[in-house]
Amino acid sequence: GNSVTQMEGPVTLSEEAFLTINCTYTATGYPSLFWYVQYPGEGLQLLLKATKADDKGSNKGFEATYRKETTSFHLEKGSVQVSDSAVYFCALLIQGAQKLVFGQGTRLTINP
């Protein structure tokens, strides 16, 4: 089946630290991959995406590269800010399918 596994949280960093949140997936087809962010009390916002192998998605200083050989889509940011504190979800969508499959989420807290 199709599934997504994220590194367990919570993750706590100091401001300006380097961030990596690991994400690996299992898929029966050729998925598109996504990172969503959920701020407290809000719904999900698309952070970035990649639709094929070796694509790099980027937005707001965050990056993730679609690695087919390692079935991974790790999220990185070079210098985090307090405002990045949120829950981050990795997700996949199989081409032609109708649903997103999410990981369990990683709670990130950035301390000033």
Partner 1 sequence: DAGVTQSPTHLIKTRGQQVTLRCSPKSGHDTVSWYQQALGQGPQFIFQYYEEEERQRGNFPDRFSGHQFPNYSSELNVNALLLGDSALYLCASSLGQGEAFFGQGTRLTVV
In the complex with partner 1, which residue's Cβ is closer, 17 or 52?
A: 52
Strands of the sheet with 19-21, listed across from one edge: 19-21, 75-77, 62-65, 56-59
Q: Say how far apart CA 97 and CA 84 lie, in whole Å.
A: 31
Q: Within 41-60, which residues bind partner 1 (CB under 8 A)?
A: 41-46, 49
Q: Say how far apart CA 103 and CA 3 lie, in whole Å.
A: 7
In the complex with partner 1, which residue's Cβ is closer, 17 or 46?
A: 46
Residue from the set 27, 101, 108, 110 that interacts with partner 1 by CB under 8 A? 101
Contacting positions for partner 1 (CB under 8 A):
4, 36, 41-46, 49, 89, 91, 97-105
